[in-house]
Homo-oligomer: A and B are copies of this chain.
Amino acid sequence: MHKTRAGIVGYGNMGRGAEKAIQQSPDFELAAVLTRRSPEDVSIKTPSAVKIHVDDALSLRDKVDIMILCGGSMSDLPVQGPAFAKNFNTVDSFDTHAKIPEYFNTMDEASKKAGRVALISAGWDPGLFSMNRVLAQAVLPHGSGCTFWGKGVSQGHSDAIRRVDGVEAAVQYTIPIATAIEKARKGNGGLLTTREKHIRECFVVAEEGADKSEIENSIKTMPHYFSDYDTIVHFISKDEFTSNHSGMPHGGFVIHSGKINDIRQTMEFSLNLSHNAEFTASVLIAYARAAYRYYQEGKTGALTVLDIPLTYLSLKSDEDLRKELL
């Protein structure tokens, strides 16, 4: 089998997860890890892969079939996404929901010009959760749907806090509110406001001498991330942070409940994840498979998980899928 040669852009939690997911996928090989650090300072687990500075990406143009963009959505992907889409097939997990239409258009233009495919927002939300929202609305159009996250650490939100001036380390837990979950299961999830569904709890290590009240205010008023929620900010020591807040659990569920003439039908999709970034990376690799197949079929432009038939995600033939899994 010709293996699809993947490049990983950004070797943090998600990049390392992508490397593991590639190792589990017999149709993929890791060709390169691209980093903003000095490549010699980065220790990777795939001896055959090239380590290279992200600025030298163009030298990989004929050596990488698809780039797995593992940067953050706030400041990395808006720049890296279009830059890479000009020269490579790409897949990413862009997760700033409010900015997806704009990001899609930017990536669509860049990838179409380059004759490449850019599959955006392929994680679990946006991603698998989005798929279940669309499916449930189509099957039960008179129903009411609701998405809950947590309890768990949100990478995107933790990342956003760490970019606030004076923050040394931070983690954010998203906590669903129990009474809201019950309402959703009874079909009343559509009436809940953003604030009624989740609390955002933040544990922050401040830099020495930093203005804590200013940090707290910057977090609580941050648009898209915190301003629509009841947010709790705790300042803790570096030691407490390391001891108690180093894991990356997450999860959540998409509930959709339709009731017609006293007949209730409820669809629920849930995830229980010990490691959010590694799971997101696993989704990225499955969708990298699909994106590269689209490219091989001559398609170009931006795509999302909603555009991809499930057959494209699997290593099995369509015939075997019908026989074994349908």
A residues with CB within 8 A of B: 20, 24-25, 97, 100-101, 104, 121, 126, 128, 130-135, 137-142, 258, 260, 262-275, 278-279, 282-283, 286, 289, 304-311, 313-315, 318-319, 321-323, 325-326
Contact = CB atoms under 8 A, between A and B. Distances in A.
B289 A265 contact: no
A289 B305 CA distance: 19
B139 A282 contact: yes
Given A137-B314, A258-B282, 15 more contacts: A97-B326, A101-B322, A104-B322, A121-B326, A130-B326, A131-B135, A137-B325, A139-B283, A265-B273, A266-B272, A267-B269, A268-B271, A306-B322, A306-B325, A308-B309
Contact of A279 (B100, B265, B307): B265
A310 B135 contact: yes
Contacts of A104: 322
B138 A289 contact: yes
Contact of A269 (B24, B140, B260, B268): B268
Nearest to A267: B271
Contacts of A322: 100-101, 104, 304, 306
A133 B263 contact: no
Contact of A272 (B25, B268, B307): B268
A95 to B, nearest CB: 10
Q: Which 10 A-B pairs have the closest CB atoms?
A: A138-B313, A138-B286, A266-B272, A130-B326, A134-B310, A133-B325, A306-B310, A263-B274, A126-B326, A263-B275
Query: Which among A138, A262, A266, A309 has the greatest number of chain B C-beta atoms within 10 A?
Result: A138
Contacts of A273: 265-266
A306 B278 contact: no
B265 A141 contact: no
Contacts of A140: 282
A56 to B, nearest CB: 31
Contacts of A25: 141
B314 A138 contact: yes
Contacts of A323: 100-101
Contacts of A269: 132, 267-270
Contacts of A264: 272, 274
A26 to B, nearest CB: 9
Contacts of A267: 128, 269-271
Query: Which among A141, A309, A325 has the greatest number of chain B C-beta atoms within 10 A?
Result: A325
Given A313-B135, A322-B104, A326-B97, A278 B263 contact: yes
Contact of A313 (B134, B258, B304): B134
B314 A307 contact: no
Contacts of A319: 101
A13 to B, nearest CB: 12
A247 to B, nearest CB: 10
Contact of A306 (B20, B132, B268, B309): B309
